[in-house]
Structure 1
Amino acid sequence: MKKSIVSLSLLAVLGMGSLSAQAASTGTITFNGELTDTTCDVDVNGQGADATVTLPTVSINQLTAPGNTTGRTSFNMNLSKCVVGTEGGHSKVSAFFQPGSTVDLSTGRLKNTATTGATLVDLQLLDASGNYAPINVGNTDQVNDMAYVDIDQATGSALLPYAVEYYANGQTTPGVVTSSVVYNLQYK
């Protein structure tokens, strides 16, 4: 009887091993990317790579319901010293806005990080190169969805136009609104 139980146990273990082997690979995922040793120098609104964009003071009466926006404020990333037209050089550029603690990844908007600030309000970034499309901050869709700007072949410069605006998540309350976002440049 003991031999039968041991034999059955051994068969069960071996049978499980073959079941897991049957659930083996069903495909392959290949990841491709590129690293470059060149980039452009960035100047945001004449302040350098790190900058502050100040939105206007607005009334909470303009932000009373989810989806209300106001206070749209433009800012430009002026790029210079971009390497173009050589091996490894790129002809188009845009910004990629990174995920982080200030980003609501479910909405792609920037959270208000002021500790005693306004409530029910985010900041929404916009691609100002065309129809002011909202930017889904932190989302890899930016790789394909962002408008890439041509780098001037003669000067190695480009202008990336963006905007930011208040975005209501409900009836807002008065207070300070502040946030930040980390960015890098992406090339084509």
Structure 2
Amino acid sequence: MKLLPIASAATLLLAAAAANAQSYGSGIIEFTGEVTDLTCTISGGAGAIGTTNITVPMDAVQANQLAAAGDIAGLHPFQLVIGGPGQGTCQNGKIAELYFDPTAGQVDAGNGNLRNQEANAPAVNTQIQVLYKNAVVDLRDPSFKTDPVTIANNTAVIDMASQYVAVNGAAAPGFVQSYVNYKVVYN
């Protein structure tokens, strides 16, 4: 008979705990989205060439312009063109934003520049900086994005720039090559 009071007490404790748990607020989380067939080509405009995989041919600079760590030279403006006239799948009125992927490409984890990956005769102590609105982009920052641009006449343009920067001392003559992965998001 002693088991009955213990079982009754355990039942009361469970009921009280359940009642306590039910006293908290509850609701729903709604998810919304869109599946779209919006497709815009991405190509190099002024200062760049190619479609999807863009090449920015930077001008040669003298090594003495990069004589000390932090020196910059060879500012090279370029454009990324989203869509193009008559590209009906690049819908007017949509918004496009450009993001860089800090985990792919040649982003230097120490400073956010692009490391020189030239295998044959590389310019030692030389990296590339990407600029947006006249400011150096820290490519390590996953939250970086360009300002939204509105697609009009099936086209939008994002103005960017690049430049050489000396790191770890004076740059030595040689070649420079690097890359960064990007994505364009449409809303």
Note the residue ranges of structure 2 that are not aligned, 5 or more in a row: 1-28
Q: Which residue of 2 aligns with 1:136?
A: 138
Q: Percent identity?
A: 27
Match of 1:161 in 2: 159
**Per-residue displacement from partner, 1:98-143 (whole Å, max 9, x unpaired)?**
222411133221100012301111100011xx3x111122421214
Q: Which runs of 4+ in 1 moved over 4 A?
A: 32-36
Classify the secondary structure of the residue corresponding to 1:62: helix
Q: Which amino acid aligns with 2:91?
A: V
Deviation at 1:51, TM superposition (A): 2.4
Query: Could you say what secondary structure the match of 2:175 adopts?
Result: coil
- SS of 1:162's partner is strand
| 1:186 Cα deviation after fit | 2.5
> For residues 92 and 142 of structure 2, what CA distance do their matches in structure 1 show?
25
Unaligned ranges ≥5, structure 1: 1-29
The equivalent residue for 1:172 is: 171
What is the aligned partner in structure 1 of residue 96 from structure 2? Answer: 93
- Give the aligned partner of residue 41 of structure 1: 41
Superimposed CA distance per residue, residues 51-95 of structure 1 (whole angstroms, 9 cap, x where no aligned partner): 22111111111011222111111211111142244xxxx3x3232
1:108 and 2:112 equivalent? yes
Q: What whole-Å deviation, never above 9, does each CA across 1:18-50 have from its counterpart, x for those lacking one?
A: xxxxxxxxxxxx9x9967533421111352122
Report the Cα distance in structure 2 between the residues aligned to 1:114 and 1:33, rounded to whole angstroms. 45
d(CA) in 1 for partners of 2:154 and 2:148? 15
1:61 aligned counterpart, secondary structure: helix
Per the alignment, residue 125 of structure 2 pairs with: 120
User: 1:168, 1:71 → 2: CA distance?
Assistant: 12
Alpha-carbon spacing, 1:76–1:101, altered in 2? closer, same or farther (3 Å):
closer
Measure, in 1, the Cα distance between the counterparts of 2:186 and 2:162: 23
Whole-Å separation in 2 of the counterparts to 1:49 and 1:184: 10
Instruction: State the distance in 2 between where 1:158 and 1:40 align.
Output: 10
Q: CA 1:34/1:125 → structure 2, altered by over 3 Å: closer, same or farther?
A: farther
| Equivalent runs, 1:10-21 vs 2, <5 Å | none
**In structure 1, how many angstroms separate the alpha carbons of the residues matched to 2:42 and 2:54?**
10
Question: 1:105 touches 1:139 (CA, 8 Å); kept in 2?
Answer: no
In structure 2, the residue corresponding to 1:103 is in which secondary structure? coil
**In structure 2, distance between residues paired with 1:176 and 1:105:** 22
User: For 1:35 and 1:41, how far apart are their aligned partners in 2?
Assistant: 20
Q: TM-score, normalised by structure 1?
A: 0.68
CA distance in structure 2 between the aligned counterparts of 1:33 and 1:123, rounded to whole angstroms: 40
Q: Higher Cα Rg: structure 1 or 2?
A: 2
Contact residue 39 and residue 185 of structure 1 kept, 8 A: no
Distance between the aligned counterparts of 1:48 and 1:95, measured in 2? 15
